[in-house]
Structure 1
Amino acid sequence: MKPMITIRPARAGDADVLPDIEQSAGLAFRAIPELAWLADGDNVSAERQRALIAEGACWVAADDQDRPVGFLSAGLEGFALHIWELDVRLDRQGSGIGSALLERAIKDARRRGLAVLTLTTFRDVAWNAPFYRKFGFRILEGAEVDERLSGLLSSEAEHGMPLDRRCAMKLDLG
């Protein structure tokens, strides 16, 4: 029997465990030699997570004892909901938790009347762009990448992300 998972809005008290979930999820990058360094990279701080939670666009996947095992942190950026982070503990990956979190974010964005969801991710990592494509996201190319997303990609490159492997994606909700 699969353990019960509940998707619920994140609470301020959840912020302290989210960096650990991000760290666990990041261990999956060890399977990609040229990106293995990401497994030891910095995580989003609990303080930043608390700020995102306060904006009301963050959700956790909680186990039957209400302990978070995955989360999606997003922020409102004009008429877009921007996904900053989507992580599931390594030992819980592949069980549909990430999909359930993403579906909740899409549903919430529609409820808010937002036009799009956006994110930046790796083009060629199975649990990145190919995963989001299953939900209707598309990779933005050239002039489609607006100033906000272009700035995010540039900032990621400054922090060591290989720009040629990164992309911005968008899901139109209209």
Structure 2
Amino acid sequence: MITIRPARAEEAEALPRIEQSAGLAFRAIPELAWLADGENISAERHRALITQGACWVAADDHDQPVGFLSAGIEGDALHIWELDVRLDRQGSGIGRALLEQTIEGGRQRGLAAVTLTTFRYVAWNAPFYRKFGFRVLEGAEIGERLANLLSNEAEHGMPADQRCAMRLDLR
């Protein structure tokens, strides 16, 4: 049984290990396999996001995190920074449950949208989010904040032609 609940500050140390495990799925995509060995969000950054109250974990029967979603409030949007499920627990609905909790959290806060940047064609990225009503933003609708994030990702080696910004309107 999995329980979705707010992340606790003391769990911040475990989240980079979950991210590392989840990233191993990229080994199945030759041109993105290098991401499996990439850097993870630091425990300190996770702690800061947890403090904002917009981070959730999926905890197992022993109350140990097996997945998480770290988000932050950016203006009138809840921005998803990272959604990861341990590789051995992927495909069981944990990511869906975390995303549903995040969307509900954005609505409860009265925010206008949930946003993120992700890969356009990786099955567990943009196609996954589209199932929840997210749409790919194009041109001017990307806006300065998301355009800056995409630019920063490209500067750090992400293939710009494969990345996109997405938005789910909440009102």
The TM tier, using the shorter chain, reads over 0.9
User: Where do 5+ consecutive residues of structure 1 fail to align?
Assistant: none
Match of 1:17 in 2: 14
Match of 2:89 in 1: 92
- Matching residue within 2, 6, 9 for 2:3: 6
Q: What amino acid maps onto 2:169 in structure 1?
A: D
C-alpha offsets along residues 89-139 of structure 1, whole Å, 9 cap, x if unaligned? 000000000000000000010001000000000000000000000000000
- Matching residue within 155, 159, 163 for 2:160: 163
Length, aligned pairs only = 171
The alignment-based identity, stated in percent, is 80
Offset of residue 57 of structure 1: 0.2
Q: Report the Cα distance in structure 2 between the residues aligned to 1:108 and 1:36, rounded to whole angstroms.
A: 33
1:145 to 2:138 alignment: no
1:60 to 2:57 alignment: yes
Any idea what SS the aligned residue of 1:16 has? coil
Aligned 1:3-152 pairs, distance under 5 A: 4-152=1-149
Q: Report the Cα distance in structure 2 between the residues aligned to 1:145 and 1:5, rounded to whole angstroms.
A: 35
Offset of residue 85 of structure 1: 0.2
C-alpha offsets along residues 125-158 of structure 1, whole Å, 9 cap, x if unaligned? 0000000000000000011110000000000000
Q: Aligned-pair RMSD on alpha carbons?
A: 0.3
Structure 1: 4+ residue segments shifted above 6 A: none
Q: What amino acid maps onto 2:152 in structure 1?
A: S
Q: What amino acid maps onto 2:44 in structure 1?
A: E
Any idea what SS the aligned residue of 2:39 has? coil
Any idea what SS the aligned residue of 1:135 has? coil
Offset of residue 80 of structure 1: 0.2
Offset of residue 82 of structure 1: 0.1
Q: What amino acid maps onto 1:63 in structure 2?
A: D
Q: What amino acid maps onto 1:59 in structure 2?
A: W
Q: What amino acid maps onto 2:39 in structure 1?
A: D
Offset of residue 27 of structure 1: 0.1
Q: Report the Cα distance in structure 1 between the residues aligned to 2:170 and 2:5, rounded to whole angstroms.
A: 22
User: Where do 5+ consecutive residues of structure 2 fail to align?
Assistant: none
